[in-house]
Amino acid sequence: MRRTPLYIIPLLAVTILILKGCGMNPRSVSEESELDRKVDSVLALMTLEEKAGQLTLLTSDWDVTGPTMRKEYVEDIRSGRCGNIFNAHTVAYNRNLQKITVEETRLGIPLLFGYDVVHGHRTIFPIPLGEACSWNLELMEKSARLAAGEAAASGLTWTFAPVVDISRDPRWGRVSEGNGEDTYLGSLIAAARVRGFQGEDLSDPYTLAACIKHYAAYGAPVAGRDYNTVDMSEIAFRQDYLPPYRAGVAAGAVTVMASFNELFGVPATASPYLMTRILREEWGFKGFVVTDYTGIDELRAHGVAADRRQAGILALTAGVDMDMQSAIYMETMQGALEDGSITLEEIDRAVKRVLRVKFQLGLFDDPYRYFDDRRESSVVHSQEIMEHALQSARESVVLLKNEAFKGSAILPLASPRRIALIGPLADNQVDLLGSWHGAGDIDQVVTLRAGLMNRYPGATISYAPGCGFEGDEVSGFGEALRLARSSDVVVLAIGESQARSGEAASRSELGIPGVQEELALELIKTGTPVVVLIMAERPLVFPLLNEKASAILYAWHPGTRGGDALADILSGNYNPSGKLVISIPRNVGQIPIYYSAKPTGRPMDPGNKFTSKYLDVPNTPLYPFGYGRSYTTFEYGETGLSSESIGRSDTLVVSVTVSNTGATAGEEVVQLYTRDVVGSLTRPLKELKGFQKIYLEPGVSKRLQFRLTAGDLAFVNGKLERMAEPGEFRVMVGPDSAHLEEKTFTLKE
């Protein structure tokens, strides 16, 4: 007879019975945490095959009729050989899978359901790199919270997000999923998104278990090529790339995903240094580590494992708890245990970590808590989430250029009578969603064309694609140019398709693909004012277009409400406030280019050939980190310091007055940077240490204060210790990393 599922049995009673059978005093149970007691009570009942099943994650599939599951995987679930599923969603489908494990397996341990809810679930927000340009931590936390609620309402319990990889190489396609080039800002965003996904109580059925990825340093592959080797010093790793992962763990993330790359000669999936020493011993992480897709099996291709069995041994002993899709733990664990290659303690430790998260999610209390049809219908595409998608898209757009055209700036477009809407992204739903849009509902996407029609109901809006994303076909130029000549303004939407970014989408050249830039230059020649919207997932290279165009907006891939958001910005209904979180290079040869570079012994001197510079291009990017314009103007007063020197226990107050000197209300991101002038190791020319996003009406000023302590000035030294060294520091305040006022202070011993 099949046993009653564990979630129905009073767990404390089970624990006491088990401990009595082992000759232990039940009173010792009170010395352990309630959660650990529950986990141990289940673990004690499990067979080795069931334990391996809890460490196995297999995929669901999808076809035109909806989600499907391979027959052999269903049998793996039924037998207890698989305890976790990903790529399965919708309430009805996931409920049926959960019913199999709860009602047909020996112990009834609930399934986890994971999915890539990277920047939304059914309702899609801007790509993470774009949303990061809002510099609005509350907005990003809310995006994660709403995405979690929508995904949880669709039967999911776990998201493979947030991506917190620092990247300074836009050739890498997955730069779109992260938060840009800066460690400080990236760490704050990592924590905000974890808080959003997980909320205050993980058992709340409107939350998801978060997964910090890709651990570690995945955003720095050699040559920008996805899955490639990562090669850096341990100082650079700990100083620049590691902190966002730690911030996510400190914020409470209960899972971490091992990255595909190697680091220090060891693939992450087989690295005890990453998975045990740093993650668990240094940071105290108590959740579980999951591989990326087939990551364990790929240890063979890396050349550190001779076969699947050895790969599984390396991963488990390194501290990797769950095997995504390789099925290696399922197949090889028993043999490895029998010959002593792994221990039962190592297996149990991994299983306990997985069970712990399932208990935290409340799945043992009610394995069906995420399967509510009424909640699914009410939460998906709710008014709240759709309005937030609009606001997120508005704040992500960066105004790069808005110069005078025949006497006045082109933007905003107050009341055009005839608009020529041109470009492959002008009337496009799927590509506005961007890469990794997962279950995003294409039918809900508001295109740029629809957004303009909503915003300008009295205008004549004529549309022509002009060209496609790829190839050299120019037959559509004629119609586009005809519309341009007969219109008051051209709105040109060009850039990348969503397929050209994301995973396995690295590029060696970063120009605007195909003949799109050629089309733009021809349209500019007509004499009709042209507003260029660049929609992409990475910084593209466009120096000639930048020279010729009078108005440029970097719109990224803005998501479900992208068309409405862009129409609001073009019309002036919303004043753009986005600031770049990654530098835009002048050409690919400058890459990697980032604001926090270190000094050189021969700094650039245009009058001296033998200094650090290019012969054919300036050292500076086309647009620097932190840059973004507004329809109004902001004036910065003199920076003030509360003291010329501080001790290690003191706080330096940095103050500045910012005034809106234009005619339009707007938001400004006020940024503070520091430089350690002389150190035991070379230090960056500047580092972001604070920012405030403020809203000012015309003619209004605001006095801002920033606080710096010795902890803010610390860095990883040659002993791999994080500490601040006494000496001279410079503090810089301004609208971006290139336009700053500088003051000096001293940190005393």
CATH assignment of the domain containing 415: 3.40.50.1700
Reply yes or no on whether the pLDDT at 97 is more than 70.
yes
Rg (CA), the chain: 27
Whether residues 483 and 395 fall in one domain: yes
Choose the catalytic residue: 169, 182, 292, 323: 292
Q: Which pLDDT belongs to residue 25? A: 44
Report the mean per-residue pLDDT for the chain: 95
**Of 177, 278, 258, 182, nearest to 217 (Cα)?**
258
Three-state DSSP class for 126?
A: coil
Q: Two tokens at 225?
A: 């090529």
pLDDT band at 404 (very low <50, low <70, confident <90, very high): confident
Q: Which residue has the tokens 């915003």?
A: 455
Look at residues 375, 410, 429 and tell me which one is the last residue of a structural domain: 375
* Same domain membership, residue 541 and residue 573: yes
Is 55 among the domain residues? no
| Crossing angle between the packed helical segments 308-318 and 344-360, to the nearest 10 degrees | 60
Residue 599 lies in a domain: no
On whether residue 461 sits in a domain, the answer given is yes
Q: Is the pTM of this model over 0.85?
A: yes
Least confident segment among 58-67, 104-113, 167-176:
58-67
The pLDDT of residue 315 is above 90: yes
Q: Is a pLDDT exceeding 90 seen at residue 4?
A: no
Q: Is the peptide bond before 336 cis (omega within 30 degrees of 0)?
A: no
Residue 672 belongs to some domain of the structure: yes
pLDDT score for 247: 98
- 161 vs 9 pLDDT, higher one: 161
Average pLDDT over residues 700-726: 97
Q: What distance in Å separates the CA atoms of residue 97 and residue 103, rounded to the nearest whole number? A: 10
Residues 467 and 369 in one domain: no
Could you tell me if residue 722 is inside a domain? Answer: yes
Same domain? 395 vs 299: no
3-state secondary structure of 453: helix
| Tokens 């068309």 sit on residue | 563
**pLDDT the model gives residue 22:** 41
Cα end-to-end distance, the chain, whole Å: 73
Contacts of 388 (CB under 8 A, 6+ apart): 125, 139, 142, 143, 146
Q: With cut-offs at 50, 70 and 90, classify the pLDDT of residue 19.
A: very low
**Domain shared by 102 and 164, yes or no:** yes
In a domain, 12, yes or no: yes
Structural contact between residues 206 and 153, judged by C-beta atoms closer than 8 angstroms = yes
Q: Based on the domain organization, do 253 and 215 belong to the same domain?
A: yes
Number of domains observed in the structure of the chain: 4
DSSP-assigned letters across all residues of 188-236: HHHHHHHHHHH-S-TTSTT--B-EEEEETTTT--GGG-TT------HHH
Of 516, 548, 581, the residue at which a domain comes to its end is 581
Domain range for residue 526? 391-581
Whether the pLDDT of residue 243 is over 50: the answer is yes
Query: pLDDT of 214-227, one tens digit each?
Result: 999 999 999 999 99
Average pLDDT over residues 77-82: 97
CATH of the domain at 208: 3.20.20.300
pLDDT tens by residue, 121-139: 999 999 999 999 999 999 9
- For 393-464, where are the E strands, in sequence order? 398-402, 404-405, 408-409, 418-422, 460-464
Residue corresponding to tokens 């990255």: 259
Buried b (16+ CB within 10 A) or exposed e, 513-532: bbbbbbbbebbbebebbbbb
Residue 165 falls in the annotated catalytic set: no
pLDDT of residue 31: 35
Residue (of 55, 106, 29, 14) closest to 346 by Cα position: 55
Predicted confidence at residue 64, as pLDDT, reads: 72
Task: Tell me: pLDDT of 407 over 90.
Answer: no
Same domain, 398 and 361: no
Phi and psi at 645, nearest 5°, equal -155, 150
Same domain, 357 and 429: no
Provide the token pair at 465.
């694609």
Residue 52 lies in a domain: no
Residues 154 and 259 in one domain: yes
Of residues 39, 36, 48, 45, the one with CA closest to residue 17: 45
Same domain, 23 and 150: no
In a domain, 234, yes or no: yes
The reply to whether 11 and 117 lie within a common domain is: no
What DSSP designation does 120 have?
B
Domain boundary among 517, 548, 581: 581
Tokens representing 224?
């920008």
Pick from 542, 488, 547, 553: nearest CA to 516: 542
Tell me the C-alpha distance between 501 and 173, whole Å: 5
On whether both 130 and 257 belong to a single domain, the answer is yes
**Which of the 8 DSSP states describes residue 16?**
H
Q: Which residue has the tokens 């329809």?
A: 631
Residue with tokens 């050409």: 587
